[in-house]
Amino acid sequence: MKDLKSFLQGNAEIVENRLIEVSERFKDEQGNPIPWEVRALPAEEEEQIRKSCFVSIKGQNHGQTEKFDPNRYMIQLAAACTVYPDLENAELQDSYGVHTAPALLKKMLYAGELNRYFEAIESHNRFKSIEEKIDEVKN
């Protein structure tokens, strides 16, 4: 029988939080861009986010069908992974006129910044990048 000690919880490598430069627009007192801190999510937490991103769509013959909303998923995932800045901070939310962390992200960042942030979040959570998926399909 093979030794399973390496798989015990205490022996698994911890994925440390990572600092990411999301935007050069947010600067400290010295004018340096402030990095954002992100964390990797456990699979259970990601599953809850994924499940919350199905929306009911009116189907044929007055029936309902469920459809996955990938945009909602990505913004929810990014918000859940963000450690700093604290997207739940009421003062920060109020300054942008929003009341949820996902809405705050969409207000704070420009489209290109948000897309790069999504890519960094996916990378940190060890999802495959679009390029990696394309390469797999080609081979």
For residue 70, what pLDDT band results from cuts at 50, 70 and 90? very high
Global pTM reads 0.82
Average pLDDT, the chain: 90
Specify the pLDDT at position 136. Answer: 58
Q: How far apart are CA 29 and CA 9, in angstroms?
A: 42
pLDDT at 128 exceeding the cut of 80: no
**Any idea what DSSP says for residue 6?**
G
